[in-house]
């Protein structure tokens, strides 16, 4: 059966607007102390559910190499344990560096996440597969540099406003972090501050454009709702 109207395809970028949301739960005393220990230290922040595709295994292997070599850098994880992660969760919780050079905030409030975006040195995004990569936008809003895996979607979102690494071995990531820290010390890493991003209101407007305005040949106007 031939369609009367062709299928139209579109896309929209996710928004980021933590600052305008109502902070949830604040910070516990323990979290406050952990943030204090991160002040002034070199640290890599990973934001996202702990699951196999997010690259936590390679990351921890890489940091163990860095710590063994004497590198003074901390690893900060924000995200709940996901599926197929019991061994990884146990590894993190029982790690000899947990609470020293390794910090895992399993349930972070918006307020805590904002604090970490301001005190940590770089957003590290080792994910092996993503649909978008919202932490990149959140980092940009806080002026935080970004080091991420060289994925097409990250190139689309961050472009020349981030640093990239390749390889799936611990040595690959450890070398990339060491190189990035040297460039950061010299002030030559890409800045994320001028990255293009939307807040959630703008993102919702774009979604409406894609889902309604384009499909209804211009008949949609703001304030109009369609039910399917």
Distance CA(87)–CA(186), nearest Å, equals 38
Closest CA to 201 of 217, 216, 185, 222: 222
Banded pLDDT at 24 (limits 50, 70, 90): low
What was the pLDDT predicted at 146?
98
Least confident of 151-155, 166-170, 192-196: 192-196
Mean pLDDT of the chain: 86
- C-beta of residue 113 within 8 angstroms of C-beta of residue 77: no
**Whole-number pLDDT of residue 194:** 82
Residue 190: per-residue pLDDT: 96
**Residue 207: predicted pLDDT:** 72
pLDDT of residue 131: 81
pLDDT at 225: 42
pLDDT given at position 224: 41
Q: CA 19 to CA 48: how far, in whole Å? A: 18
Distance between start and end Cα atoms, the chain: 22
Taking the CA of residue 165 as centre, how many other CA atoms within 13 Å lie in the half-sphere pointing to its CB? 27
The two tokens of residue 159 are 């472009």
Q: What is the pLDDT of residues 74-85, one digit of tens each?
A: 999 999 999 889
């Amino acid at each position: 059966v031939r369609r009367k109207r062709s299928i139209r395809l579109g896309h929209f970028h996710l928004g980021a607007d933590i600052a305008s949301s109502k902070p949830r739960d604040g910070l516990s005393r323990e979290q406050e102390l952990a943030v204090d220990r991160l002040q002034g230290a070199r640290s890599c922040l990973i934001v996202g559910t702990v699951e196999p595709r997010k690259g936590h295994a390679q990351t921890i292997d890489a940091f163990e190499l860095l710590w063994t070599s004497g590198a003074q850098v901390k690893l900060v994880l924000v995200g709940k344990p996901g599926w197929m992660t019991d061994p990884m969760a146990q590894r993190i919780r029982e790690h000899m560096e947990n609470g020293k050079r390794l910090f895992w905030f399993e349930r972070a409030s918006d307020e805590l996440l904002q604090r970490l975006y301001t005190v940590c040195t770089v957003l590290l995004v080792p994910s092996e597969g993503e649909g978008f990569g919202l932490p990149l936008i959140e980092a940009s809003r806080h002026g935080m540099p970004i080091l991420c895996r060289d994925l097409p979607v990250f190139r689309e979102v961050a472009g020349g406003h981030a640093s990239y690494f390749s390889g799936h071995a611990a040595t690959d990531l450890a070398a990339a972090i060491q190189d990035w820290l040297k460039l950061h010390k010299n002030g030559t890493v890409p800045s994320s501050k001028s990255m293009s991003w939307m807040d959630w209101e703008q993102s919702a407007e774009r979604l409406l454009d894609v889902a309604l305005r384009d499909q209804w040949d211009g008949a949609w106007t703001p304030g109009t709702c369609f039910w399917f």
